[in-house]
Structure 1
Amino acid sequence: MSKTAIIYRMVTDEHICPYGLRSKDLLEREGYKVEDNHLTSREETDQFKEKHGVKTTPQTFIDNERIGGYDDLREYFNKGQAGQTGTTYTPVITIFSVAALLAWAFQYSVSGEYLSIRTLMLFIAFSMTLLAVQKLKDLYSFTNSFITYDLLAMKWIRYGYIYPFVEAFAGIGMVAQLPAMAIAPFSIFIGTVGAISVFKAVYIDKRDLKCACVGGDSNVPLGFVSLSENLFMIVGGLIMLFT
């Protein structure tokens, strides 16, 4: 016996509800034949909400029982809450993974080898550059988070605005193989200040903070991963100086 569901979702010339599309997709993936009803105007949508005593659309009905919106539908199918919730390392893991793949690909295209000191340098450089982009997309939000734990930025807020540019400069300079003395001191300096700041905030003061490493709106916890970012900068600078 086929399973059927009825969905009412807003579809107008100006707006197609994303949660309506997600609800329809979820129902189809669960094996339901979907009767898809479009609410094609704001007036029609308001009339539907008033009739059924609901505040939002889409609304899904199964066996003449109103299930509710997209979150309610996920709960009905035991799918858990949608989207990112709570603290997560996903943004940093994603950036480091992409940086590693870029480093391997770049080095292989140039020399035919995957692993070398140069591959490590490229990994550090790409990581720094990608992380800098995350910070630069919203400097105000980044600095608001950064100044709560970085020891230098606490005393001189403008450092928070300068930091991502220096990080990007150092990363790009490593890729371009600019002279070591033009790049390494900057990388070592911001890495050292950052490492000391994170170590103090997390391991001495025991503060529970969000890391600004991937921007001010992240849910990445300040801790080992944040410390790793700074250690990478120090290692990259030292490699440039002594190789």
Structure 2
Amino acid sequence: MIEILSPAQLPGARAAGRLVGRILETLRRRTVAGTNLLEIDEWARTMIDDAGAVSCYVDYAPSFGRGPFGHHICTAVNDAVLHGLPHDRALADGDLLTLDLAVVLDGIAADSALSFVVGPTRPPECLALIDVTERALAAAIATVRPGARIGDLSHAIGEVLLGDGYRVNLQFGGHGIGSTMHQDPHVANTGRPGRGYRLRPGLLLALEPWVMADADELVTDPDGWTLRSATGCLTAHSEHTVAVTENGVEVLTLRPDVLE
């Protein structure tokens, strides 16, 4: 299903996006060496509940997972990149942590992810991975406008990721979003321009470049959810929900640190 929001629904999408951005930034600021992944999940649950929203992940049970997910946020550490199931693990200085959060507020979903290094240590290989996913995301966002095609966005992402020497996995990518978290169209992280669905005002897309340092294959943890690089290499993931507007694009999940 491809869902097109009406102009009257856009304020609700903005509110959902602001909530996701605020929660992610709050979690980033709170997380230090010694923070437990289950603490992060509980902090997310409290903020979601306080806002009157619902996590998209608690009852999430797609065909590829061992569902339901049962937690409120995805927490992926170092070689884990997608669907990281929160568990009893204390983070260490220098860990590369990805937080991926999607909520529904008043009937509209928003989805965003960020990767960051825990503590004062800043390993260059972690920073490079984060940087390339953020630049790929920015390139895709710059391509969004009415009349553009999904392939244009995929191509923009791939140009950055492949241009920096990373391999691209095509199993998971961006997606449409609206009243539910995952909708059509699929947005692969590389592709051919001029192909695919033509963007229309009112379409919401969750764009999410992610990479692994030296691999393009994933393996699944025994928990049935957490996806890791097949080689054990570091990973990173950046994501925003955007709205196609009459004049171009609006990023809905900007975090307070960016807005400031």
More helix by percentage: 1
**TM-score grouping bracket, smaller chain normalisation:** under 0.3
State TM-score, norm by structure 1: 0.25
State TM-score, norm by structure 2: 0.24
More strand by percentage: 2
